[in-house]
């Protein structure tokens, strides 16, 4: 049966998830499916000048530092961890896609077992210690969101993440309460770079794609956003993102270059 809430049309299915399954309160589950922040951060009057109005952030490596090296380094060599991250060797990306699309964490271990028992063991070890992969705020991320709000822009999140692992990020960082709303792939069974998740985000957040900028560390996701009518910035450094946003017409304080 197809269900909807105020953020989604009948074309967008909501996945029935429970606090027992996710470790999150029902209100947080609904927010991960696109419900607006009930207590949005203070911001200046919204801009309606025909330019950029909405900035959408990926989470991992854009707002939150994430690195599987953290939990794996205690038991595995740097070289094994390097190979673990290469999809053609271990199946890591395929396994992540499975959980990001809403399948349980055991599916990731089984996908990597197809490449070898070692990779399955490493994935099991990593997932059991997932909170250690969350390394805190990407430097400057909170300030960027605050500066955007102060200048009158809306700030949103759009990220691939499994429901079971997202709880660790939710409890580790207050960045989510700084956003006006967000969509998380595992809660809606749709992932980047699918066109449908970008269309759903624009509908849920109520903006014109032509007036939105997406920030992600993966070029393929930025290309997908552009194909959906958005602008996009590939994150390499916080200073570079700020500079590129300003180049797109976003009116925030620039990176200071000289005394």
Distances (CA, A) of 77 to 81, 122, 207: 6, 11, 46
pLDDT above 80 for 210: yes
Domain boundaries, the chain: 19-63+138-247, 66-133
Instruction: Give the pLDDT band of residue 11 (cuts 50, 70, 90).
Output: low
Q: What is the dihedral of CA 111, 117, 122, 127, to 10 degrees?
A: 40
Distance between CA atoms of 76 and 69, rounded to whole angstroms? Answer: 9
Least Cα distance to 175 among 130, 140, 214 occurs for: 140
What does the block give as tokens for 124? 């099991």
CB neighbour burial string for 55-78, b if at least 16 within 10 angstroms, e if fewer: bbbbbbbbbbbbbbbbbbeeebee
pLDDT one-digit tens code per residue, 140-195: 999 999 999 999 999 999 999 999 999 999 999 999 999 999 999 999 999 999 99
pLDDT one-digit tens code per residue, 212-253: 999 999 999 999 999 999 999 999 999 999 999 999 999 999
Distance between CA atoms of 79 and 15, rounded to whole angstroms? Answer: 39
pLDDT at 15: 81
The residues with which 10 forms a beta bridge, in sequence order, are none
3 state SS of 27? helix
Instruction: Give the pLDDT band of residue 4 (cuts 50, 70, 90).
Output: very low
pLDDT one-digit tens code per residue, 20-74: 999 999 999 999 999 999 988 888 777 666 799 999 999 999 999 999 999 999 9
CB neighbour burial string for 115-140, b if at least 16 within 10 angstroms, e if fewer: beeebbebbbebbeebebbbeeebee
Distance between CA atoms of 198 and 135, rounded to whole angstroms? Answer: 27
Q: What does the pLDDT average to over 116-143?
A: 96
Q: Does domain 19-63+138-247 have CATH number 3.40.50.1000?
A: yes
Burial of 18 from C-beta contacts in 10 A (0-12 / 13-18 / 19+)? exposed
- In contact, 90 and 115? CB cutoff 8 Å: yes
pLDDT above 90 for 3: no
Instruction: Give the pLDDT band of residue 9 (cuts 50, 70, 90).
Output: very low
The residues with which 182 forms a beta bridge, in sequence order, are 157
């Amino acid at each position: 049966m197809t269900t909807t809430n105020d953020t989604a049309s009948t074309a967008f299915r909501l996945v029935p998830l429970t606090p027992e399954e996710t470790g999150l309160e029902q209100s947080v589950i609904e927010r991960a499916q696109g419900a607006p922040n009930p207590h949005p951060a203070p911001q200046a009057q919204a801009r309606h000048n025909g330019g950029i109005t909405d900035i959408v952030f990926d989470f991992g490596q854009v707002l939150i530092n994430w690195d599987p090296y953290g939990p794996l380094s205690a038991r595995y060599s740097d070289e094994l961890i390097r190979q673990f991250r290469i999809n053609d060797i271990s199946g890591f990306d395929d396994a992540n896609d499975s959980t990001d699309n809403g399948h349980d964490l055991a599916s990731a271990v089984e996908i990597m077992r197809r490449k070898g028992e070692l990779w399955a063991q490493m994935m099991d070890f990593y997932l059991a210690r997932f909170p250690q992969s969350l390394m805190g705020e990407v430097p400057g991320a909170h300030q960027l969101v605050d500066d955007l709000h102060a200048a009158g822009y809306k700030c949103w999140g759009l990220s691939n993440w499994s429901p079971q692992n997202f709880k660790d990020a939710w409890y580790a960082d207050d960045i989510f309460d700084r956003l006006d709303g967000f969509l998380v792939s595992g809660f809606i069974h749709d992932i980047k770079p699918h066109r449908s998740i970008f269309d759903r985000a624009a509908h849920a957040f109520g903006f014109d794609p032509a007036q939105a900028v997406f920030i992600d560390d993966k070029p393929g996701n930025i290309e997908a956003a552009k194909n959906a009518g958005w602008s996009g910035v590939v994150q390499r450094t916080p200073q570079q993102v700020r500079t590129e946003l300003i180049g797109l017409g976003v009116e925030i304080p620039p990176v200071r270059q000289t005394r």
